[in-house]
Structure 1
Amino acid sequence: MKKIPFRLTPYQVQFLLVVGFVTVGYALYLRYLAVEYSPVALACDAGLQSVLCKMRSLATYLFKHSVFGTVALIIAALHVMRPSIVLLTGGLVAAGLGIVLYNITLSGIAIGLLILGFARPAPATA
């Protein structure tokens, strides 16, 4: 069975750029305006029940247990075995969140595996 190389169309590349920028932007928002921002942290720790405080507690729980990096690594390993745009998008989202939200090691390895998903043997020439 002949394996065809995994290549993205220009529309898929634009979609991945938008998804990547939105994911990293939201992760930066969570990190610097919810997790590390002192007035929000003090208000949430004092018992404020808002959506921002709930997102802060969820993000804190997830990065303390390395969920972002683990999910990114699992999706990236699946992407290496069977490349698809769905796996690439999911891995990009999980790795982007993990890089910004303190799961750097596992997310970095996942990004490397996502890049390796494009490595396929060149077609033989006649």
Structure 2
Amino acid sequence: MARRSFHPGPHTTLFIVLLGGFALGWAIYMRYALVEQSSVGLACIGVETATCHTRALVIWLFGYSAFGITALVASIIQFIRPRVPIFVIGAMASAAGVVLYNNNLAALAAGILLISLDRPWRRAKA
């Protein structure tokens, strides 16, 4: 019995695209509206707001390559055992990582995710 490749259905694909687009939009907003703006950085000196805490958290996360490492780990797991939730996590983390200064690891993870679409899928109906 031949095994089909990992190809999500149309509704699942739409869900993946929507969440990936959300992650990409969030990352673009965080980078260009909060992280790179020097006026926001100056305004956050000595101020305790949710925006400043979010900005500090995102800076701390990309300082440790958290987006790229998460994307790479999820894409390796996806390559070994294809599952839709792991694919979504890998796609969202790689979209955020490419924008938020973790582009080397996130781009590698996106490539592995792309290759994983050709892996056999256990749940597929032959």
Report the equivalent of 1:76.
Answer: 75
- Where in structure 2 are there 5+ consecutive unaligned residues? 121-126
CA offset at residue 60 of structure 1? 0.3
After TM superposition, the score normalised by the length of structure 2 is: 0.90
TM-score by length of 1: 0.90
2:13 pairs with 1:13: yes
Aligned-partner residue type, residue 84 of structure 1:
R
Residues 15-60 of structure 1, C-alpha deviations (whole Å, 9 max, x = no match): 111101111111111101110112111111x211111111100000
Match in the other structure for 1:118:
117
Q: Distance in 2 between matches of 1:74 and 1:89?
A: 13
Please give the residue correspondences for 1:85-100 in structure 2 after superposition, counting only pairs within 5 Å.
Answer: 85-100=84-99
User: Which 4+ residue blocks in structure 1 deviate beyond 4 angstroms?
Assistant: none
Work out the percentage of aligned pairs sharing the same amino acid.
Answer: 36
Q: 1:22 is matched by which residue type in structure 2? A: F
Q: Deviations over 1:46-95 (max 9, x none)?
A: 21111111110000001011111011100000000011110100001111
**RCO (CA 8 Å, sep 6+): is it higher in 1 or 2?**
2
1:34 paired to 2:34: yes
Structure 1 unaligned segments of length 5 or more: list them.
Answer: 122-126
Aligned residues: 120
Partners of 2:3 and 2:80 lie apart in 1 by 12
Alpha-carbon shift at residue 120 of structure 1 (Å)? 3.4
Distance 1:108 1:47 in 2: 36
CA apart distance, 1:4:
3.2
Partner Cα distance (1:113, 1:61) in 2: 26
